[in-house]
A = this chain, B = another copy of it.
Amino acid sequence: MTYTRDELRWNGWGLRAQGFDLGGHDEKVWELLARTVGLAALPDTPAKDLSRCTLPASKLDDVTLGKLTALAPVATDDLERAAHALGRSYPDLIRLRRGDLSSAPDAVVFPRSHDEALALVSFCAAEGLAAVPFGGGSSVVGGVEGKAGPGQRAVVTIDTTQMARLIELDPVSRTATFEAGVWGPDLEEQLQRRGFTLGHFPQSFEFSTLGGWIAARGAGQNSNRYGAANEWLVAARLATPSGEWRTLPFPQSAAGPNLNELIVGSEGVLGVITEATVKIHPVPEARDYRAYLFKSFEAGAAAIRRLVQAEVPVAMLRLSDGDESYFFGALQGLRHPPGKAMEVAEKGLAALGYGPGRCVLMVGLEGEHGHVRSSLAATTLACTREGGLPVGAGPGKAWLKNRYAMPYLRDPMLDRGIGVDTLETSTTWANLPRLYEAVRQGIASKLGIGAVLTHISHSYEDGASLYFTFFFARDLGDELGQWRAIKKAASDAIAENGGTISHHHGVGQDHVAWLPKEKGPLALEMIAAAKKQLDPKGVLNPGKLLP
- Interface of A with B (CB < 8 Å)? 170, 172-175, 216-219, 228, 230, 234, 240, 242-259, 261-262, 264-267, 279, 305, 309-311, 313, 367-368, 371, 374, 426-431, 458-465, 498-507, 511, 515, 518-520, 522-523, 525-527, 529-530, 532-534, 545
B173, B461, B534: which contacts A463 (Cβ < 8 A)? B173
Smallest beta-carbon distance A369→chain B, Å: 13
Report whether A529 and B533 are in contact in the complex, using a CB–CB cutoff of 8 Å.
yes
Report whether A463 and B522 are in contact in the complex, using a CB–CB cutoff of 8 Å.
no
- Which B residue's beta carbon lies closest to that of A505? B254
- Which B residue's beta carbon lies closest to that of A175? B462
Report whether A255 and B501 are in contact in the complex, using a CB–CB cutoff of 8 Å.
yes
Report whether B261 and A267 are in contact in the complex, using a CB–CB cutoff of 8 Å.
no
Q: Which residues of B contact A251 (CB under 8 A)?
A: 426-428, 459-465
Additional pairs, 11, CB under 8 Å, beyond known A311-B371, A529-B529: A173-B431, A228-B252, A249-B428, A250-B499, A251-B428, A252-B465, A252-B500, A254-B507, A256-B507, A256-B545, A529-B530
B309, B426, B428: which contacts A253 (Cβ < 8 A)? B426
**How far, in whole Å, are A504 and B428 apart by their CA atoms in the complex?**
28
- Which B residue's beta carbon lies closest to that of A546? B256
Report whether B262 and A526 are in contact in the complex, using a CB–CB cutoff of 8 Å.
yes
Q: Which residues of B contact A519 (CB under 8 A)?
A: 247, 255-256, 259
Report whether A503 and B174 are in contact in the complex, using a CB–CB cutoff of 8 Å.
no
B216, B249, B463: which contacts A254 (Cβ < 8 A)? B216
Known: A254-B507, A256-B265, A374-B374. A522 touches B173 (CB 8 A): no
Known: A254-B265, A256-B265, A515-B255. A246 touches B520 (CB 8 A): yes
Q: Which residues of B contact A234 (CB under 8 A)?
A: 462
Report whether B249 and A462 are in contact in the complex, using a CB–CB cutoff of 8 Å.
yes
Report whether B533 and A503 are in contact in the complex, using a CB–CB cutoff of 8 Å.
no
Question: Looking at chain A's contact residues, is the secondary structure mostly helix, strand, loop, or mixed?
Answer: loop
Smallest beta-carbon distance A367→chain B, Å: 8
Report whether B240 and A522 are in contact in the complex, using a CB–CB cutoff of 8 Å.
yes
Q: Which residues of B contact A175 (CB under 8 A)?
A: 428, 462
Smallest beta-carbon distance A243→chain B, Å: 6
**How far, in whole Å, are A502 and B258 apart by their CA atoms in the complex?**
12
Report whether B254 and A502 are in contact in the complex, using a CB–CB cutoff of 8 Å.
yes
Q: Which residues of B contact A244 (CB under 8 A)?
A: 522
**How far, in whole Å, are A462 and B280 apart by their CA atoms in the complex?**
9
Report whether A503 and B254 are in contact in the complex, using a CB–CB cutoff of 8 Å.
yes
Report whether B250 and A258 are in contact in the complex, using a CB–CB cutoff of 8 Å.
no
- Which B residue's beta carbon lies closest to that of A259? B523
Q: Which residues of B contact A265 (CB under 8 A)?
A: 254-258
Smallest beta-carbon distance A54→chain B, Å: 36
**How far, in whole Å, are A305 and B170 apart by their CA atoms in the complex?**
14
Q: Which residues of B contact A252 (CB under 8 A)?
A: 219, 228, 426, 458, 460, 463, 465, 500, 503-504
B243, B254, B313, B462: which contacts A218 (Cβ < 8 A)? B254
Nearest first, the 5 closest Cβ-Cβ pairs linking A and B are A251-B463, A261-B261, A251-B460, A253-B500, A173-B428
Q: Which residues of B contact A311 (CB under 8 A)?
A: 313, 367, 371
**How far, in whole Å, are A255 and B519 apart by their CA atoms in the complex?**
9
**How far, in whole Å, are A267 and B255 apart by their CA atoms in the complex?**
10
Report whether A217 and B254 are in contact in the complex, using a CB–CB cutoff of 8 Å.
yes
**How far, in whole Å, are A534 and B520 apart by their CA atoms in the complex?**
12
- Which B residue's beta carbon lies closest to that of A523? B259
Smallest beta-carbon distance A347→chain B, Å: 37
Q: Which residues of B contact A243 (CB under 8 A)?
A: 522
Report whether B534 and A532 are in contact in the complex, using a CB–CB cutoff of 8 Å.
no
Smallest beta-carbon distance A242→chain B, Å: 6
Report whether B240 and A518 are in contact in the complex, using a CB–CB cutoff of 8 Å.
no
**How far, in whole Å, are A170 and B99 apart by their CA atoms in the complex?**
51
- Which B residue's beta carbon lies closest to that of A368? B310
**How far, in whole Å, are A7 and B406 apart by their CA atoms in the complex?**
66
Report whether B526 and A522 are in contact in the complex, using a CB–CB cutoff of 8 Å.
no
Q: Which residues of B contact A279 (CB under 8 A)?
A: 461-462
Smallest beta-carbon distance A245→chain B, Å: 5
B217, B245, B367, B465: which contacts A522 (Cβ < 8 A)? B245
A/B interface sample: 15 pairs, CB < 8 A: A172-B430, A174-B461, A216-B254, A218-B254, A219-B254, A228-B252, A251-B465, A252-B458, A254-B265, A254-B506, A255-B519, A258-B265, A259-B523, A526-B529, A529-B529
Smallest beta-carbon distance A143→chain B, Å: 11
**How far, in whole Å, are A533 and B522 apart by their CA atoms in the complex?**
7
**How far, in whole Å, are A499 and B255 apart by their CA atoms in the complex?**
11
- Which B residue's beta carbon lies closest to that of A545? B256
- Which B residue's beta carbon lies closest to that of A253? B500
B261, B371, B428, B545: which contacts A170 (Cβ < 8 A)? B428
Report whether A248 and B518 are in contact in the complex, using a CB–CB cutoff of 8 Å.
yes
Report whether A518 and B255 are in contact in the complex, using a CB–CB cutoff of 8 Å.
yes
